[in-house]
Chain A
């Protein structure tokens, strides 16, 4: 031991014939210098050059001087023998410890499409949900790489949509979207989608929750879905001209598993409607169309009569049931209510009897755009003074679609997070002129794990507050889902009923019931 700086002394520990990698040695140095009381340390092989270095650093002691080139020298400049020993012990631990390593071969997530294609060779579909400003470029890259695309994002310019769909047509690819939230291809649910049995009914939909409502009713009726292709909310407008719908219909026409085709969307533009007639005529299979509509226009939409084999349905539920009927060789029959008339009357009276004077209006608080639109149309057909938009304005009957852009800037979609819906439920429930709250509860992959549970606290609070002010709030809902969904339709419906919510078999029936109740309050 030789004396170095004041109160510091150097200790050397030599391990004979103990070769270590220079990098490992540098790590040992770092570990030792972290020990309290150690001023400086080094772990080096005992080559002559290294011994000189150790000497120059004031670290060399007698034991180290005697070391040879294949010996490991641990050299410590410390304030006490105990500190030096602690440093030595630290190196022992480090040398014998096994490295903590991640699972071998687990690669980091790729940052680019090229990286993703290396990681998953044979990838054939890009599911894109990035902000709209970037969505078009990502979809373009995917198409150029030969992938089909499902574009969940919205706020994509219509010119970009046309460019994408034109390129996709040239390449023989599917370009589903933009604003395509749902699809089921080959039994695989994509985006927000429900678990439904595979079967013989194929759907092409320019609507997310519309597609969901239809497939769920098909499943409830005991039939199944071959493919449910989303085409994007704007596809049927004349600006886009049904570019993806045409492709979807051609695919369903040649798909051997598809026996009946169902087309869902908002009413097409006039030019698109005319060409739609041709496409439907070429299907060679029975077809049902539902153009979710408002009171001003008939359910089939427009003056051009559809081809003979096309059945026109007035609601999403009717479209599903019609498709099932056609598949079974039966005649479709629209549904007003599933429950017998007596039961409906009792429901209406029950709700209405306990209301206070002044409670007059239906207030819809929706998460699904198409469901809100369908409800609005049904209310308009039966009531006066229904506010025309879906942004919650208006003083009498109104429906708000909280999935609209204005509500989702910087906030998660209401199908994923219930915060905004709870706020609206409480707001509408607190209004003295609200008679009926009308809700959709949408289940499936990608949506919240417990949509009913998300809403119930607000429903319960709002009703109690209304009761204490002498008002009875009727809450009418439908559950769009199946028991195969992660949330389980039966369980969700039971939870809602437990809180006094009237759960109707479909969105259309829920809207009709709400209208009946409000009609008695007029």
Chain B
């Protein structure tokens, strides 16, 4: 088998991948390899000592949520003393936005890739502002998480069973024709998902139905976590093809940016996380910004987000661009990908499929790196999102990946 063959096979699997949201289950139930006192986080591996502000805050919050510590100070001491284990969400088929901290009791969306019999997971989106994923861990955050676990998760789980699951691939395809790119713009996806679930939520005999529906209505990015898990499910299905140079994950932990490649197994290829170019909410500026963080770049890895920017031109205003910039951004990404998605198509490009299958070799050859459109977090924990803009995957990741890939050939 040649590299060309391997890549063709990898892309074939990616195109064929499915993503059906089938339920909401506690993490410890669906992640059997998750050890006790283990927390998952966004991005490549990172030690407690190096974690950025939002992630440390989220770790503290997760400890409090799990009852492993009574106060924030105790939680920090527990972490410093080595009483916690940390692993990337990606190592457990999960993805988390921003800090992406996931603990054993948290409720996870379960997405099935039926073509490969595998699943992927993500937490439920908490909303904006003072939320765990930005490092907030006060009582309001913990109460909300508790409510989500106690009331929202079972209601959504039951609704999904009644509905027979929700085909996220279908929703993503439709959302792309409605102005979403499924990373920073999720309004249409959320609307489609909540509309689909609402009758089945309402049919529940018990539970806080009103508040659940109101919560989903108010959470503009509710769809984001589902879209991320869908992308993860599809990409996991094409990971592990020997000889393939296709990127199967891009993820950031606020300190480093990491990628994984189909043909190089579980290795991470990392470089320092980039700063984000963008616009800030009132009162904030670049000095307040955390470097790029989150597993949400899984969207771009699957051809969504900035790769599908031509479907969501409003976002380019974050860098003072025009609608033409949106088209050009997607067009530029075609230069570093191997195929065009058969299902995810963009009306403004005459229904051309989104750029699919980032090829490490093409990135190094052309000098064009994947671009990601993303929220900007405050670098202190607990403040929240302070803006939005674009970041570029560091070339260093792709150079290291190419070196690692070539070293593994003919061995």
Contacts and interface: CB of A to CB of B under 8 A. Distances in A.
B80 interface: no
A112 B315 CA distance: 27
A27 B279 contact: yes
Interface stretch (A97-105, A235-243, A456-464, A509-517): A97-105
Most buried by A among B281, B314, B322, B368: B281
A379 B281 CA distance: 79
Contact of A111 (B281, B320, B366): B366
B343 to A, nearest CB: 20
B328 A107 contact: yes
Interface stretch (A18-26, A281-289, A291-299, A384-392): A18-26
Contacts of A110: 335
Contacts of B318: 23, 26
Nearest to B184: A23
B315 A29 contact: no
Given A24-B314, A49-B129, A115 B335 contact: yes
A59 interface: yes
Contacts of A44: 282
Interface in A114-156: 114-115, 118
Interface in A1-36: 21, 23-24, 26-27, 29-30
Interface in B287-346: 314-315, 317-318, 320, 322-324, 327-328, 331-332, 334-335
A75 to B, nearest CB: 8
Contacts of A186: none
A23 B366 contact: no
A59 B335 contact: no
A106 B327 CA distance: 9
B283 interface: yes
A24 B317 contact: yes
B362 interface: yes
Most buried by A among B317, B366, B387: B317
A72 interface: no
Interface residues of A, number: 31
A227 B323 CA distance: 46
Most buried by B among A24, A41, A44, A108: A108
Contact of B328 (A27, A53, A108): A108
A115 B282 contact: no
A42 interface: yes
Contacts of B365: 112
Contacts of A23: 279, 314-315, 317-318, 388
A25 to B, nearest CB: 10
Given A101-B324, A110-B335, A30 B366 contact: no
Nearest to A58: B283
A99 B322 contact: yes
B324 A114 contact: no
A101 B335 contact: no
Most buried by A among B280, B323, B334: B334
A136 to B, nearest CB: 15
Given A26-B281, A99-B323, A101-B323, A112 B314 contact: no
B335 A111 contact: yes
B317 A27 contact: yes
Interface string A83-111: 00000000000000001111011111011
18 contacts: A23-B314, A24-B314, A26-B317, A29-B279, A30-B279, A40-B282, A41-B282, A42-B281, A59-B282, A99-B322, A101-B324, A104-B324, A111-B335, A111-B366, A112-B335, A112-B365, A112-B366, A115-B334
Nearest first, the 4 closest Cβ-Cβ pairs linking A and B are A42-B282, A102-B324, A101-B322, A26-B279
Given A26-B279, A100-B322, A110-B335, 5 more contacts: A23-B317, A26-B281, A42-B281, A112-B362, A115-B335
